[in-house]
Amino acid sequence: MSSREMTWPALLLGVGLAVVMGAANVYLGLRVGMTVSAAIPAAVMALAILNGVLRRSDILEANMVQTGASAGEALAAGVIFTVPALVILGVWKEFDFWTTTAIAASGGVLGSLLMIPMRRVFIVDSPDLPFPEGVACAEVLKTARRVEDSSSSDGAGVPAAASTGASLIFLGLGIGGVFKMAQSYFGLIQNSVEAGVLLNRRVFFLGADMAPALVAVGAIVGLPIASQIFLGGAISWLIAIPAAFPVESADVLPIAFAKETWSSQVRYLGVGAMVVGGVVSIWRVRRGLIAAASELGGLMRPKANAAPGEVSHGAVPSTERNLSAGTIALLAVLTTFAIAAVYYSLLKSIGVTLLTTAVMLLMAFFFTAVASYLVGLVGSSNSPVSGMTITAVLGTGAVLYLFRRLGLLTIDDTQAIVATLGVAGVICCVASTSGDTSNDLKTGWLVGATPRSQQIMQVLCVLASAFVMAPVLTVLHEGSLASGTGGIGGAELSAPQAVLFSKLAEGMFAGQALPWTMIAVGAAIGAALVLADLALHRMNVPFRLHVMPVAVGMYLPFGVAPPILLGGVLHFVLTRRQATREETTRRLTLGASGLIAGESLVGVLLGLLAYLGYSSWSLTEGWNWPEAAWQAVSLLALFAVSAWLTYSARRGAA
């Protein structure tokens, strides 16, 4: 077998999928507050296209494609969690193309670069880190090679595993897209099913979003994580709101009251829990941080038979060749100058720019190590990027507040808010892309890829994806405004992280009082969860109780939690049989990935149509159906999609 890796077909396909996956995850993250890893579906798509269309059969080439594709998904998470906060706060009236692109590109590239010297620490020398998604992606690639080597194909030169997987993705994409079109353009399906009642001055609320993408997210992350997200939602909506916020007037509208109370008060339980989760995560990676610092410190010291690319490639195997120290240093310096230029353009102050750049660099190294470790522990989809970004927001805000209070820096409230969000935006991109890079390098290590080629692909695809972030955000925001759903931060594109970070920044500098009591209670809940998890660990109970998924559930709208739980239950039921678990999980992941991509891409398309003045074409105008009937139809539609997902996962594993 040849060893083609960085080829023109791989590069073009990787860049194309990176842009598509990035756009899809921009919508998903704004809609749901979560993104999912694109590595496995990208690997399957790469195999199907390279083998079936281009008649190329090297899995190292396919691995390069998935490396590039996942870079777009990771960068989307970094951008959407922070940059929209500037629009939500009114600092920007629209998404500035060059500033958004510069934040995305510089943060993404810096995260990829900083992870390179940590590769040996976390990937090669840490066998205790399972890298669940990186290992799964490697198995997809290896399975396709084994199928091809055994001459099992679909008759067109495509390995059966890749062909079937691609069919599942495309079918899921079509189903998800049709559902979204029927829902948001033709008005045939409700966006959510909700109910609220007032009993003894207490409001009780239940609701579920009608979104196949949410069921798919639950099916991918599994029941343990899905149930913990639901637990967080239950704590906020089913316990805190009725218990702590009695209604003063019988005339109140229960649903409106529940949503307003959650938005202004209860969601901050999640902030407190996330801070605790972030501190615990950092403590758990303390040894890895020390090792990573040592590795980074020795990067510039040449040595005999140095790590690949530093002195000579002659004695070093291809599987150990990284970008050279000089290349990393040069790109890191250029990236840092680019970030400093962005900060100066936003802040118009040399002193504030120097301070924020220094804080950013320190946090970038710190969170690169934390993100790389956590991706190795729980996977890319479950990595608590939100918690790391909250820590960055609070840490940057504390530094700026201290310097201003001591008279060491002259900075007004608006500058402080923009500086805090500017640092958080870069750090979020750093954490997202460094975690993705570590996951991809683990896959590459398992299939025998050259790290240097993957690192080049990662950087190129980050840069390509960065240029589509601002246009997609603009289309979604303007389209949502045109369709009457409030833009980013509104009813459909709730952007929970961006809203939360904007509130935190305002609370620290703009005199907007934060509900510190709720934050403190949330921190106490987070501490209790940590203790409970330790107890479960000591009793050797396989189920773990992680803080971050519960915290995410606390600050997400409750409608997100039930469909995610439904997907988690499907995953649990379908994968109970040990003999078929691996194949069922693979098919479930691919079908679910297709649903997510279909709904997300059509969501972007509908945003564009609304932006152009074609917001909707209701087919139900004049239909006088009762509300209960519409809710029943909507639920049946969601259950029908769930049934297809169940059938498609079982069919190939029967």
**CA–CA dist 6, 449 (Å, integer):** 10
382: its two tokens: 């479950």
3 state SS for 231-244: HHHHHHHHHHHHHH
Q: Which pTM value belongs to this model?
A: 0.79
Number of domains composing the chain? 2
Domain containing residue 545: 515-549
Assign 613 a pLDDT band (cuts: 50, 70, 90). confident
**CA–CA dist 251, 255 (Å, integer):** 12
How high is the mean pLDDT of the chain? Answer: 82
Nearest to 48 by CA among 161, 134, 198: 161
Q: For 323, how many CA atoms within 13 A lie in the half-sphere containing its CB?
A: 23
**CA–CA dist 105, 335 (Å, integer):** 9
Residues 505, 522 within the same domain: no
The per-residue pLDDT for range 620-647, each reduced to its tens digit, is 776 777 888 888 999 999 999 999 999 9
Nearest to 183 by CA among 625, 624, 617: 617
Mean pLDDT to the nearest integer, 230-235: 94
Mean pLDDT to the nearest integer, 215-219: 88
Helix, coil or strand: residue 192: strand
Phi and psi at residue 209, to the nearest 5°: -75, 140
Residues 377, 466 within the same domain: yes
pLDDT at 230: 94
3 state SS for 478-523: HHHHHCCCCCCCCCCCCCHHHHHHHHHHHHHHCCCCCCHHHHHHHH
Residues 539, 456 within the same domain: no
**CA–CA dist 4, 480 (Å, integer):** 44
Mean pLDDT to the nearest integer, 578-603: 82
Residues 457, 531 within the same domain: no
Whether residue 654 is predicted with pLDDT greater than 60 in this model: the reply is no
Mean pLDDT to the nearest integer, 314-327: 76
Nearest to 588 by CA among 279, 339, 217: 217
The per-residue pLDDT for range 366-388, each reduced to its tens digit, is 888 888 877 876 666 666 677 77
Q: Which of 498, 528, 549 is the last residue of a domain?
A: 549
Phi and psi at residue 192, to the nearest 5°: -155, 160
**CA–CA dist 278, 225 (Å, integer):** 17
Residues 537, 433 within the same domain: no
Whether residue 1 is predicted with pLDDT greater than 70 in this model: the reply is no
Residues 487, 543 within the same domain: no
Range of weakest confidence among 38-52, 288-302, 561-575: 288-302
Q: Which residue type occupies 530? A: V
**CA–CA dist 457, 112 (Å, integer):** 10
Residues 380, 526 within the same domain: no
Helix, coil or strand: residue 207: strand
Cβ–Cβ under 8 Å, residues 230 and 564? yes
In a domain, 532, yes or no: yes
First to last CA, the chain: 33
In a domain, 79, yes or no: yes
198: its two tokens: 């007032």
**CA–CA dist 17, 36 (Å, integer):** 15
Residues 79, 47 within the same domain: yes
Residues 71, 15 within the same domain: yes
**CA–CA dist 418, 512 (Å, integer):** 15
* % of the chain at pLDDT higher than 90: 22
The per-residue pLDDT for range 165-215, each reduced to its tens digit, is 678 888 888 999 899 899 888 888 888 899 889 888 899 999 999 989 889
The per-residue pLDDT for range 438-447, each reduced to its tens digit, is 888 988 888 8
Q: Which residue type occupies 276? A: V
Beta-carbon contacts of 105 under 8 Å, excluding residues fewer than 6 positions away, are: 338, 462, 463, 466, 467
Whether residue 354 is predicted with pLDDT greater than 90 in this model: the reply is yes
Q: Which residues are paired to 196 by β-bridges?
A: 205
In a domain, 316, yes or no: no
**CA–CA dist 48, 165 (Å, integer):** 8
Residues 424, 538 within the same domain: no
Assign 310 a pLDDT band (cuts: 50, 70, 90). very low
Helix, coil or strand: residue 540: coil
Cβ–Cβ under 8 Å, residues 251 and 411? no
Cβ–Cβ under 8 Å, residues 205 and 255? yes
In a domain, 347, yes or no: yes
How many other C-beta atoms are found inside a 10 Å radius of the C-beta of residue 98? Answer: 10
In a domain, 200, yes or no: no
326: its two tokens: 């000089």
Whether residue 340 is predicted with pLDDT greater than 80 in this model: the reply is yes
The dihedral over CA atoms of 278, 111, 68, 63, expressed in degrees to the nearest 10, equals -80
97: its two tokens: 């193309």
Whether residue 588 is predicted with pLDDT greater than 70 in this model: the reply is yes
Q: 308-346: buried (b, 16+ CB within 10 Å) or exposed (e) per residue?
A: bbbbeeeebebebbbbbbebbeebbeebbebbbebbbeb
Quote helix, strand, coil % in the chain, to nearest 5: 75, 5, 25
In a domain, 63, yes or no: yes
Q: Which 8-state DSSP code applies to residue 153?
A: B
Mean pLDDT to the nearest integer, 36-48: 73
**CA–CA dist 497, 430 (Å, integer):** 16
384 membership: H or E segment, kind and range: none
In a domain, 437, yes or no: yes
The per-residue pLDDT for range 104-153, each reduced to its tens digit, is 999 999 999 988 888 887 887 766 667 777 777 787 777 655 545 544 44
Residue 336's region, left for phi above 0, alpha for psi from -120 to 50, else beta, is alpha
Residues 159, 78 within the same domain: yes
Nearest to 217 by CA among 561, 489, 491, 476: 561
Helix, coil or strand: residue 159: strand
In a domain, 617, yes or no: no
* Strand residues in 186-300 grouped as ranges (E): 192-199, 202-209
Residues 502, 521 within the same domain: no
Cβ–Cβ under 8 Å, residues 22 and 463? no
pLDDT at 298: 61
41: its two tokens: 């579906």
CA angle, 455 then 21 then 652, to 5°: 105
**CA–CA dist 114, 187 (Å, integer):** 47
In the chain, what's the furthest Cα-to-Cα distance? Answer: 80
